[in-house]
Chain A
Amino acid sequence: MKSKLLIALMVGAMSWTAASAEPAVETVKIGCVAPLTGPQAHLGKDIENGARLAVDTINATKPTLAGKPVQFVLQVEDDAADPKTATVVAQKLVDDGAKGVVGHLNSGASIPASRIYADNDIPQVSPASTAVAYTHQGFKTTFRLMANDSQQGRALGQYATHLGKRVAVVDDRTAYGQGLIDEVVKGVKAAGGEVVAREYTTDKSTDFTAILTSLKAKKPDVVVFGGMDPQAAPMVRQLHTLGMKIPFIGGDGMQTAEFIKLAGPAAEGSIGSSPGLPIDKMPGGAEFTKRFGERFGKIQIYAPFAHDSAVVLIQAMLRAGSAEPEKYLPELARTQLDGVIGPIAFDDQGDLKDGPVTLYQVKKGKWQAVETVGGPAAKAAAK
């Protein structure tokens, strides 16, 4: 910790001397928050690297703000995927004078932190949080570049109905699971399907035979689950044990490598959705993979979204000719640009307009993209 502090001081001193040597160059601090420790550390690092690539690329073009040369500096903080830590580091970024924030990863971290940013009028662009509530708190400063759970739930509902008219749903009674399934139900109805049964479980259960047996009696064509992989994996196993040979579908909570590992052979054929496009379908995907690969290696999921989050923030500052939030926030809301992830524009809430959702299926023990639903990006990808 001490050595880190020392390095920070040295870097600070160096940047100060650099600034004093070249007084014309102004620096603007951009915050970047993600879990950099704990089980999601690899995903957090992905966000940091994506944002860093964007900042460095823009700095290399010698940008100017209102005619004066400017350099952008990324200040990276670790929220450990923890809501409490998230608020602490958010306050730290505010105190350190960050003009905009890329982050956080988890909805549970983004939501409490967003209040602090909003109170200090600092725009926040999350590359990963999907809970509907994040942008629906009435804050003008919250934006995101991922389809939210409502867009995802509808896409799932429509896809489920397309596989079979009689849909059974199960949710784990968490904010995420319940919210997702509520939207799935709307999607199923809109697509002309019928929800024949709705059952519930918890995010700590492992035995689902009783509820699956109840579902079996209603003769569904497909089962949709709203919850995370530790429940989804035993559930799909038990579905097979009960002799129910019907498609099993879930959201991004189960569209994970962990799900395949835990469910074993029973995972085969399961369908999971994830917001955004697969990287090879993104308009700027191939080029970004190459550029990112040269510097950081393999992309996990979020790097392109984090990259575009930083780009969106900085471009708004450049267009407004100011890094002051009250000047560039209106520009940020009016964003219209083609990012790595596709065309980017925000709706009134700060959600990505027509955010695409991609459906994946487990084939030969791997998630493979099968279809992308919604969004101009989807149309672009179809070309």
Chain B
Amino acid sequence: MDVLLQQLVNGLILGSLYALVALGYTMVYGILELINFAHGEIVMLGALVSVTVLGVLVAAGVPVPLALLLALAAAVLVCMATGVLVERIAYRPLRNAPRLAPLITAIGVSIVLQNLAMILWGRQYLSFPPVLAPQVYAWHGASVSNVQLLIVAVAALTMGTLLLLVQRTRLGRAMRATAQNREVAGLMGVDVNRVIAATFAVGSALAAVAGLLIASYYGIAHYNMGFLLGLKAFSAAVLGGIGNIPGALLGGLLLGVIESLGAGYIGDLTGGFLGSHYQDIFAFFILILVLIFRPSGLLGERVADRA
């Protein structure tokens, strides 16, 4: 029982990270019907920037909470700027092009960002400065650390803020209007270009938060870390129903739990035929199942011409 509980805890923490990244995919898809494959690289940028800034600040003797906030701020700024820039130069010129063109462009942007990061930070792994002394709490046989609790808290707070932004503010209303019908929203006086840029900025800010959390959780950051993460978060977004914000939350959490349980039990279930190194197949297996049986995802509406 305690093993199952621990696997659920592991899964929820992993899942809240996926959810945070999945939100970025889903927001952009909701508004542009574009799968922004470069989003995983924005997370990577957030992780590398925050690790670098934090390292410099901690070495300079800045108090840890302040250094963390400044590192987060720097990561958010860099990611937002990158996200908006990518939208401006890579996606906006193709907004009325056939759907395949922006998709391929997104893959190209992802490769460019990855290589830029490789040139800037090098190929080696960067380590997250050990600023948070790990403390482990036992609860019914399962262990949770302070870093993990912090991750869940920050992820929940960030997602709550996002929901408020989308549901309660002028910008949020403009986003929803643009998502429903870009042309009509424009006719009603919504500055569509600004709303789309804002969507990229907000999604990239979430990615920056996710990058910092992931780097602090695993202790390492690397120019290549965004690729697989991005694909998994995308799968989570599809699982929840792409374009749907609560769907991204649900999909992320579910995917995290499924992966944890899967990796924990696959060896026993298949009699050792498939080992735990097949952990990564679950995300994509689920992606295939969802696309076959429920293309609109768990919470998505059935819209014939989407996806």
Q: Which A residues have a C-beta under 8 Å from some C-beta of B?
A: 39, 172-173, 199-202, 204-207, 209-211, 213-214, 216-217, 229-230, 233-234, 237, 240-243, 258, 261-266
Contacts and interface: CB of A to CB of B under 8 A. Distances in A.
B125 A258 contact: yes
Nearest to B133: A265
A263 to B, nearest CB: 7
Nearest to B279: A210
Interface in B137-156: 138, 143, 145, 147-148
Contact of A173 (B125, B127, B133, B277): B277
A265 B264 contact: no
B145 A264 contact: no
B222 interface: yes
Give chain A's interface secondary structure class.
Answer: helix
Interface of B: 3, 6-7, 10-11, 13-14, 123-125, 127-130, 133-134, 136, 138, 143, 145, 147-148, 218-220, 222, 224-225, 228, 259-265, 267, 275-277, 279-280
A260 to B, nearest CB: 9
Given A173-B277, A206-B225, A209-B260, A217 B130 contact: no
Given A207-B279, A242-B143, 13 more contacts: A199-B267, A200-B275, A202-B277, A204-B224, A209-B260, A210-B263, A213-B7, A214-B263, A214-B267, A233-B125, A237-B219, A262-B220, A265-B130
Nearest to A260: B127
B209 to A, nearest CB: 18
A207 B124 CA distance: 18
A217 B3 contact: yes
B7 A264 contact: no
A278 B118 CA distance: 35
A209 B260 CA distance: 8
B276 A210 contact: yes
Contact of B276 (A199, A206, A233, A264): A199
A146 B108 CA distance: 45
Nearest to B131: A264
A243 B218 contact: no
B260 A210 contact: yes
Contacts of B10: 209-210, 213
A265 B10 CA distance: 22
Contacts of B124: 39, 258
Given A205-B279, A240-B136, A242-B143, A39 B123 contact: yes
Contacts of B134: 237, 240-241, 265-266
Nearest to B136: A243
Contacts of B219: 233-234, 237, 262-264, 266
A207 B143 contact: no
9 contacts: A199-B275, A201-B276, A201-B277, A209-B260, A217-B3, A234-B220, A241-B134, A241-B147, A264-B130
B136 A210 contact: no
Given A206-B220, A209-B14, A262 B127 contact: yes
Contacts of B127: 233, 261-264
A216 B277 contact: no
Contacts of B11: 210
A217 B7 CA distance: 11
A83 B32 CA distance: 45
A243 B143 contact: yes
Which of B123, B147, B218 is the most central at the interface, judged by chain A CB atoms within 10 Å of its CB?
A: B218
Nearest to A199: B276
Given A207-B14, A240-B136, A263-B219, A230 B125 contact: yes
